[in-house]
A = this chain, B = another copy of it.
Amino acid sequence: MQTLDKTQTKFGQLTVRLSEIIDIESASSLLHWDQATYMPVRGASARSRQLATLKQISHEKFTDPKIGELLEDLRGYEQSLPYDSNTASLIRVARRDYDRAARVPAAFMAKLCRHQADSYEAWASAKATNNFAAVEPYLEKTLELSRQYANFFPEYEHIADPLIDRSDYGMKVSILRPLFAQLRQELVPIVEAIASQTPADDSCLHQNFAEAQQLEFTRTVVERMGYDFQRGRQDITLHPFMTNFSIDDVRITTRVYKDHLDQALFSSIHEAGHALYELGNSAEFEGTLLAGGISSGVHESQSRLWENLVGRSRGFWECFYPQLQGVFLRQLGHVTTDQFYKAINKVGRSLVRTDADEVTYNLHVAIRFDLELAMVEGKLSVHDLPEAWNDRYKTDLGIVPATDSEGAMQDVHWYVGTIGGMFQGYTLGNLMSAQFYETAVKINPEIPVEIERGNFTVLHDWLKQNIYQHGRKYTAVELVDRVTGSALSIEPFVRYIRHKYGEFYVV
């Protein structure tokens, strides 16, 4: 009895410490949100300093050896509880996060952060002037630091694994490489087939659409999906993102272009998908490490599920297109639902990942994934990156960028992060989105019909029940298995693509 009391005291001490750290992280998130939405331009330099200070405090507090001791003392307690009890799960997730953080010296993290800030600046100006040579030394240092980071985890199977693990815990090169290779094998011929046929006409999306009305429309759409404006809000930014400051304050951002109707629309649905995940966490997880999403991949599966499998489906627009026409009668009055549906699903070979359609998107990701692996493995030098990039674009997508700014410098990722571990989440997300959705519809065959009626309750409830509520309790691998009854696979995604695009094209 006394031991249990003592154990519970220790568990209490752990949660108090963790809650303090989570509060600091939430404050950081708000500073970031403000920086990306409302901060006056001149506020930037103090803001960077403030963010660095908060990061350092939370890192110091989290790697305090006292947390390690408490976790050690709680090991027996954890093992005495069912694996999926909240208490055991919290201790398990805390240990995982702590072990990762404590292995990397604070001085190294500070060095990495400083380098990333410098590297970002170098990239922004090199991209503007198409000068890859100017970022080479930065990228070389990033590569060196990425390898150093990995070596704090010398038990790795592949040197990129510890880098992948940062955002997609449990995923490894030995799982991902074959998966991505199979996917590429399936997709390259489909893309080739589509590219040889008449492209869809998406000119209806590129007219003059008043920004305020676009915003108002996206607001009603995400509200219908179940996004609750009492627990969130939507603001304008440059690069849309979702962020949260608690389970009851999960915000989305979007960008609105007068002549690109799809931007505000699909970025809003995408970010609302991320937000529904976090809003759907079990309320008991508030202020604990169990709140949030498991991994980049699982998070992206929710945004892509809503954006693509739901938001780019015919049924979705059976419901919403007449309303959208009502808002933009002059521009869309003469465009049929079918024409609009084809326009938002136009497939084409393009150079920029973020503008890519859902068929070609994963080819972009696979290219980066393979190139970053080759670099950390030492098989590709930074100097040879642009050439390797262009070769792969030629092979996989049949086009070659005219400049490195549209090529190896197009994404910010390697210039603000590590080399290795930066891209797999996007494709994992696409694969899982199809696998989850296929299961949801198998169990609730009424979902597509309900969507046509603008009713998302069955789908939303199923996702909440099976995915959202669990927060970070299960790993991605466990979750896929629990929810779908099978291991992660490319099959559902390929089936989805073949089925959907088989309607327009010979694939």
A residues contacting B by CB (< 8 A) are: 19-20, 23-24, 26-28, 30-31, 34, 38-43, 45-47, 49-50, 53-54, 57, 228-233, 235, 245-249, 251, 286-287
A66 to chain B, nearest CB (A): 15
A230:B23 contact, CB within 8 angstroms: no
Chain B residues whose CB sits within 8 angstroms of the CB of A49 once the complex forms:
19, 23, 287
* Chain B residue with Cβ nearest A39: B249
Report chain B residues within 8 Å CB of A43: 231, 245-246, 248-249
- The residue in chain B whose Cβ has the minimal distance to the Cβ of A43 is B249
How far, in whole Å, are A492 and B27 apart by their CA atoms in the complex? 45
CA–CA, A26 to B31, complex, Å?
A: 10
Name the distance in Å between A85's Cβ and chain B's nearest Cβ. Answer: 24
Asked if A42 and B287 make an inter-chain contact with CB atoms under 8 angstroms apart, the answer reads no
Chain B residues contacting A53 (CB-CB under 8 Å) are 19-20, 23-24
- Bound Cα distance A233, B251 (Å): 21
Would B246 and A47 count as touching, CB distance under 8 A?
yes
Which of B34, B42, B286 contacts A46, CB < 8 Å?
A: B286
Given A34-B34, A38-B233, A231-B42, residue A245 in contact with residue B24 (CB < 8 A): no
A46 near B246 (CB under 8 angstroms)? yes
Closest to A46 in B: B246
Contact A23 B286 (CB under 8 A): no
If A20-B53, A24-B53, A27-B27 touch, whether A46 touches B230 (CB-CB below 8 Å) is no
What residues of chain B lie closer than 8 Å to A231, measured between beta carbons? 40, 42-43
Q: Which residue of B lies closest to A42 (CB)?
A: B248
Contact B46 A287 (CB under 8 A): yes
Known: A231-B43, A246-B43, A248-B45. A50 touches B38 (CB 8 A): no
Provide the bound-state CA to CA distance between A235 and B37, in Å.
Answer: 13
Closest B residue to A52 by beta carbon equals B23
Contact call B249/A57, Cβ cutoff below 8 A: no
A249 contacts B46, CB within 8 Å? yes
Q: Check if A41 sits within 8 Å of B246, measured CB to CB.
A: no
With A30-B31, A233-B40 known as contacts, the answer to whether A57 contacts B24 (CB < 8 A) is: yes
A30: chain B residues at CB < 8 Å are 27, 30-31, 34
Which residue of chain B is the closest to A26 with respect to CB atoms? B50
A40 is contacted by which of B42, B45, B46, B230 (Cβ under 8 Å)?
Answer: B230
Residues of B within 8 A of A24 (CB): 53-54, 57
Task: Evaluate contact between B249 and A40: CB separation under 8 angstroms.
Answer: yes
- Tell me whether B230 and A41 are in contact (CB under 8 A): yes
Q: Is there an interface contact between B40 and A232, defined as CB atoms closer than 8 Å?
A: yes
B42 touches A230 (CB 8 A): yes
Rounded to whole angstroms, the CA-CA distance of A251 and B39 in the bound complex is 9
Shortest Cβ gap from A317 to chain B (Å): 29
Q: Which residues from chain B contact A245 at a C-beta distance below 8 Å?
A: 43, 46-47, 50
How far does the Cβ of A176 sit from chain B's closest Cβ, in whole Å?
Answer: 36
Q: List 20 A-B contacts (CB under 8 A).
A: A23-B54, A26-B46, A27-B28, A27-B54, A30-B31, A30-B34, A38-B38, A40-B231, A40-B232, A40-B233, A40-B248, A40-B251, A41-B230, A42-B228, A42-B231, A42-B248, A42-B249, A43-B231, A46-B248, A46-B286
Shortest distance from the beta carbon of A72 to any chain B beta carbon, whole Å:
25
Contacts of A50 in B (CB 8 A): 23, 26-27, 245-246
Told that A20-B57, A38-B38, A40-B230 touch, could you supply 6 new A-B pairs with CB distance under 8 A? A20-B53, A38-B235, A39-B249, A46-B248, A46-B287, A57-B57
CA separation between A249 and B42, bound complex, in Å? 7
Residues of B within 8 Å of A54, CB to CB, are 23-24, 27
- A34 to B54, alpha carbons, bound, how many Å? 18
**Nearest Cβ distance between residue A275 and chain B, in whole angstroms?**
11
Residues of B within 8 A of A251 (CB): 40
**Cα-based distance from A235 to B53 in the complex (angstroms):** 27
Expressed in whole angstroms, the minimum distance between the Cβ of A289 and any Cβ of chain B is 15
A230 to B41 alpha-carbon distance, docked (Å): 6
What B residues does A247 contact at CB under 8 A? 46
Nearest first, the 9 A-B pairs at minimum CB distance are A46-B246, A43-B249, A23-B53, A42-B248, A23-B50, A42-B231, A27-B27, A42-B230, A41-B230
CB distance from A24 to the nearest CB of B (A): 7
Instruction: Please give me the residue from chain B that is nearest to A248 by CB atom.
Output: B42
Which residues of chain B come closer than 8 Å to A40, judged between CB atoms? Answer: 229-233, 248-249, 251
Q: Which residue of the partner chain B has the closest CB to A53?
A: B23
Chain B residues with Cβ below 8 Å from A34 are 30, 34
Q: Give the residues in chain B near A45, CB-CB below 8 Å.
A: 246, 248
Given contacts A47-B245, A57-B20, contact A31 B42 (CB under 8 A): no
Task: Name the residue of chain B whose CB is nearest to the CB of A21.
Answer: B53
Q: How far is the CA of A83 from the CA of B31 in the complex (A)?
A: 37
